[in-house]
Structure 1
Amino acid sequence: MTELTIPRDQGVWRDTERCYRAVTARDSRFDGQFIMAVRTTGIYCRPSCPAVTPKSANVTFYPTSAAAQAGGYRACRRCLPDAVPGSPEWNVRADLAARAMRLISDGAVEREGVPGLARQLGYSERQLGRVLTSELGAGPLALARAHRAHSARLLIEMSELPLTDVAFAAGFASVRQFNDTIREVFATTPSHLRAAAAKARRRAGSAEAEAGNTGARLTLRLPYRPPFDSDGLLRFFAARAVPGVENITTESGRITGYGRTLRLPHGAGTAWLSPADGHFRCALRLSDVRDLSSAVARIRRLLDLDADPEGVRHVLSADPALAPVVEEVPGIRAPGAVDGAELVTRAMLGQQISVAAARTAAGKLTAELGGTLPWPGECTLTTLFPTPEAIAERGREVLRGPRRRIDAIITVADALASGKADVHIGRDPGDLRAELLALPGIGPWTADYALMRVLGSPDILLSGDLVLRNGAAALGITDLTEHALAWRPWRTYAGMYLWHAADRGASA
């Protein structure tokens, strides 16, 4: 029997034979890689849909749910094709289409329209529309419409907001547009979706959403592709957790959850995240429900939930030096970030000092200059990380250390506050790296670390990192730069394994 491998190249949905083989296998590893639409039913599904496999002659494949919707298909109510991990293709690719998808998932079109999306990407609206239609089968408006529909379904099913409020919170221009879209995409009405969700919650004996004057609370399931090394990821966050901004929960000495505050486009939020079988449980609290989709997108990037662990394993386990540690820790993830300016600031604070010392410095800065949450009573998550504006204005009063280092942090904060430096998920990696390197106090390590965590770039090797080099030496790797060429396009994940190897060697 020929082994069924996960497709990894761009435009895989165009290879209909390979996609159909994936559908007949009903392998959930392919969910999010492409969409299957069935012409005889007018429905689109995830590849692992448990329904009867249609004949190949009746199937069309699309790269996104938006493209399927533009083709006149509606979402399957059995397999819920939008409720799967996102395509890892957007992590691997750094082209215009991938960068646009990241910004659309963050709600850029709802906040700034297509002109704002095009401006952030550095293209004209016409160029952007042409590229997205060619690459993804749908233009920016259709992609944003699909994104709004998914956000609306979450609010319908997971909150008690009036449906009129749901419409505007999800980004629709009118209630009529909201109703029409829900009917077209899900083949039902908003009220029927809510009634079905309420019935399911009653059967489960729980209601996991509420809204009030202290913000909306929602509990979501954020799926990922197994395996997932949640222990390693949570330890990474715990070691760097800034008091007030972040916190962890433990049980019998094991980290069971991670929480942090969020500075979102329309207000503040908090998220508590705990691993479960095939998903993370996410308890959100938002001061403005319009930030739901942005919060979810940022948390997914923070936890690297859309990664392709099978693709990483396939490449890295082929290296005899790295294979043992890949076998030891399956499903390792690369930690992301929820805010570009925060990540750059924290990376600069941590230069040439220990992780613990960097955490202390960030904690002091936050205690003095951080923002407060709009609701009282949170005993552990209380503070928003300081804005670049606050650091530029008052950072000298708080920061300690060499004057040159303080001057660099203040200069970078001023550049971030003024827009001279713009660190967001839609940036071209090469352009962003050059922009960061032009700022004082930012060298190759800091710039590459920002690309790795803010953009989620999967092929960044921090070859100058001492701990990473110690890990390489522990595995018998001498010429790291040359050796790492065989790890492309997954050198970021290889670096995580080298960090693990260094920790293992230190504790041995």
Structure 2
Amino acid sequence: MATTRTGTVEDQVDVALDLAGVRAWLVAHAVPGVDAVATDPDGGTRHRRPVSTCEGRAALEVVLPAAGTATLRARGAGAEAALAAGRRWLGLDLDPRPAAATLAGDPDLGPLVRARPLLRVPGAPDPFEAAADVVVGQHVSVAAGRVFAGRLAAVAGVDRGPAEAGRVAALDPDDLQRATGVTGARARTLVALARAVADGLDLGPSPDDDARAATRAALLALPGVGPWTADLVAMRCLRDPDVFLPGDLVLRRAMGGVTAAEAGRRARAWAPHRSLAVVHLWTHHALDPPAAR
């Protein structure tokens, strides 16, 4: 980690990274009005967004070259905390090597893992923001979810973090529905989630299985939060390495069009590394398929 003459804190990514995979994830989930994505002539990309920290607001930039080493830069109050958030965003907080070594021998998933051994489970630069975006993405495409997330950001403010949770918690669900275009049920879920976070529900990363289970149970107790939502939050925000989403349509298609029950049954063989298995299936079949490359 180094500080440049302009006061920007810079961090060269010190581990091997599947650049195409993480680029595809960041582009697919970029929220209008929050995430700015610029593409270089050689195909490299630069991803910029604000990050709220305990010390204030910082500007984070992730530089993903066409080939080589990724770089993270942050400037402003809490710049070092913003860099840590950026590392979680890229999945650098979870070492994929033990999971990849295990999954590489699986008859179904093995070919995908062997083809992309450096793929990681992306996290979230801000837990509440990511959880709220998961809610607005229920039962819609990734592209539609981005549109709703952008509208939510316009209503709640793009500085995100605890301040955003407080603003959403204070909103009337009917007003939120009219402003964002989400369903009434989804608006009520967003307000309930925001109020829970404002009241102390911690959606940040946790290494403790019991703590993650307790947070998942608290999420499931909220109106409109089912297993798909709670589990995706657990994977991206709580950083649970063993999450599977049997009801996810893309995953079921990737597994041959199986039922949710069959998808869950087959995924048991991938425990305790099911989060990485999910990312491999999503990446190969939707986010960055071989045909696109």
Instruction: State if a TM-score over 0.5 links the two structures.
Output: yes
Q: Relative to structure 1, is the Cα distance of residues 309 and 384 closer, same or farther in structure 2, using a 3 angstrom cutoff?
A: closer
Number of matched pairs: 281
Q: RMSD across aligned C-alpha pairs, in angstroms?
A: 2.7
**C-alpha distance in structure 2 between counterparts of 1:444 and 1:478, whole Å:** 13
1:390: how far off?
A: 1.1
Structure-2 residue corresponding to 1:269: 58
CA offset digits 1:221-270 (Å, max 9, x no partner) = 1322x2x2121112112112112311212134835222221011111011
What's 1:222 paired with? 13
The one-letter code sitting in structure 1 at the alignment partner of 2:167 is: A
C-alpha distance in 2 between matches for 1:325 and 1:283: 31
In terms of Rg, which structure is larger?
1
Question: Hey, what does 1:326 align to over in structure 2?
Answer: 113
Q: Alignment partner of 1:261: what SS?
A: strand
How far 1:325 moved relative to its partner? Answer: 1.6
The code of the aligned residue for 1:468 comes to: L
Within a 5 Å distance, the mapping from 1:235-314 to structure 2 comes to 235-252=24-41, 254-275=43-64, 279-286=69-76, 288=77, 291-314=78-101
Map Cα deviations across residues 345-385 of structure 1 (whole Å, 9 max, x no partner): 111111111111111111122123315xxxxxxxxxxx547
Distance 1:401 1:483, change over 3 A: closer
Q: Which residue number corresponds to residue 48 of structure 1?
A: none
Deviation of the 1:480 alpha carbon: 2.6
C-alpha distance in 1 between matches for 2:195 and 2:261: 41
Unaligned runs of 5+ in 1: 1-153, 160-207, 212-216, 372-382
For residues 100 and 130 of structure 2, the distance between their equivalents in structure 1, rounded to whole angstroms, comes to 28
| Equivalent pair of 2:36/2:49 in contact (CA under 8 Å) | yes
- Shift of residue 505 of structure 1? 8.7
Q: TM-score, normalised by structure 1?
A: 0.51
Tell me which residue corresponds to 2:273: 490
Q: Which residue is 2:123 aligned to?
A: 336
**What residue ranges of structure 2 are gaps of 5+ in the alignment?**
none
Structure 1 CA distance for aligned equivalents of residues 252 and 5 of structure 2: 47
Alpha-carbon distance between aligned partners in 1 of 2:249 and 2:290, rounded to the nearest angstrom: 14
With over 3 angstroms needed to count, the CA separation of the structure-2 counterparts of 1:236 and 1:253, relative to structure 1, is: farther
Corresponding residue for residue 456 of structure 1:
239
- Give CA-to-partner distance per residue, 1:74-114, whole Å, 9 cap, x none: xxxxxxxxxxxxxxxxxxxxxxxxxxxxxxxxxxxxxxxxx
Deviation at 1:485, TM superposition (A): 2.2
Equivalent residues in 2 for 1:79-478, closer than 5 Å: 154=1, 158-159=2-3, 208-211=4-7, 217-224=8-15, 226=16, 228-252=17-41, 254-275=43-64, 279-286=69-76, 288=77, 291-371=78-158, 384=160, 387-394=164-171, 396-397=175-176, 398-419=179-200, 421-426=201-206, 428-473=211-256
Instruction: Give the Cα separation in 1 of the matches to 2:129 and 2:39.
Output: 26
Cα distance change, pair 404–253 in 1 and its aligned pair in 2 (3 A): farther
- Would the aligned equivalents of 2:136 and 2:182 in 1 still touch at CA under 8 Å? no
Q: 1:401 to 1:455 in 2, by over 3 A?
A: closer
Contact 2:11 2:83 in 1 (8 A): no
Tell me how far apart the structure 2 counterparts of residues 401 and 240 of structure 1 sit (CA, whole Å). Answer: 18
Counterpart-to-counterpart distance in 2, 1:506 and 1:478: 29
Q: Secondary structure at the match of 1:358?
A: helix
Structure 1 residues 497 and 435: CA distance shift in structure 2, 3 A: same
Change (3 A) 1:345 1:297: same
Give the partner amino acid of 2:54. P
User: For 1:334, what is the secondary structure of its paired residue?
Assistant: coil
Aligned in 2, Cα 1:346/1:487: closer, same or farther, shift over 3 Å? same
| 1:209–1:218 Cα contact (<8 Å) kept | no
**TM-score scaled by structure 2?**
0.86
Q: How far apart, CA to CA, are the structure 2 residues paired with 1:335 and 1:433?
A: 19
SS in 2 for 1:479: helix
Q: 1:314 to 1:264 in 2, by over 3 A?
A: same
CA distance in structure 2 between the aligned counterparts of 1:209 and 1:474, rounded to whole angstroms: 54
Distance 1:463 1:284, change over 3 A: same
* Partner deviation per Cα, 1:158-205 (whole Å, 9 max, x = no partner): 34xxxxxxxxxxxxxxxxxxxxxxxxxxxxxxxxxxxxxxxxxxxxxx
Aligned equivalents of 2:97, 2:63: Cα separation in 1: 23
- Tell me the percent identity: 32
The answer (yes or no) to whether the contact 1:246–1:260 under 8 Å persists in 2 is yes
Report if the CA contact (8 A) 2:148-2:182 is conserved: no
- Write the distance in 1 (CA, Å) between the matches of 2:186 and 2:11: 41
Structure 2: distance between partners of 1:500 and 1:253: 22
